[in-house]
Amino acid sequence: MSEKPASVGLALNAAMTRAEELRASTERKVRVRLMPQWGDDRENLTIVARIAARTGPELEVQGDKGVRKVLWGDLDARAGELVGLVEAAAAEIEEAVRTAPPPPPRPSLGEGDFDSEAFLRLVETSYETLARDAGPLMATAPTLSPAATAEAVVLGAMKVVALAALGGRIEGADLEQMLKDAMADVRDLAGLGDLPLKAVH
């Protein structure tokens, strides 16, 4: 066996070790992957660094950042660069995320000429419709306890919420506050005996 393949193997091992070190030591847990690419003019070793985005802008700014490529034909000659390429990709993605703009306010707080009456009407109509439909839906799982049935409906509703939030570009922090506000509203309604979702109990 020749020395060059062994040298490439050692370099790849060192690069992967460095990637693990960076994931463990960086504040935002930079994940660096070394991915072989084949076919369609993509025959290279691609190094990709990513950070789990906390906001929409953090996701957007990563885009094509934190990417380095080495053609297979150049790998022997550039094997010694791999650790440095891993570090460069990680540093670039960290900088992109660090300088990401703040997320915009949610539409009801940031849009000009906002129709608040139409907004509140849709809030109440959505609530009443989903609450009304939840009762028959819960009846489709008679083998579950009432608590487990309610939990399943909550998880399903949360997926719908997440989907709507993505479409409306609503950030996680806003969602958390909206959930707290909704819980407070529902508790107030419960105290008044005015809950439409009687089937939950």
Q: What is the pLDDT of residue 195?
A: 57
How far is 19 from 8, CA to CA, in rounded Å? 16
DSSP H/E element including 42: none
Tell me the C-alpha to C-alpha distance, in Å, between residue 173 and each of 26, 32, 158, 177: 23, 27, 15, 6
Per-residue pLDDT tens, the chain, 201 aa: give them. Answer: 444 445 899 999 999 999 999 999 999 999 999 999 988 777 899 999 999 998 889 999 999 999 999 999 999 999 999 999 999 999 999 999 999 998 888 878 878 888 989 999 999 999 888 888 888 888 899 999 989 998 999 999 999 998 888 888 888 888 888 899 988 988 887 776 555 554 444
Task: Tell how far CA 130 is from the center of its chain.
Answer: 26
How far is 27 from 43, CA to CA, in rounded Å? 33
67-85: b (≥16 Cβ within 10 Å) or e: bbebeeeebeebbebbbeb
Q: What is the pLDDT of residue 199?
A: 42
**Could you tell me the pTM of the whole model?**
0.64
Q: Where are the domains of the chain?
A: 3-98, 107-200
Q: What is the pLDDT of residue 196?
A: 55
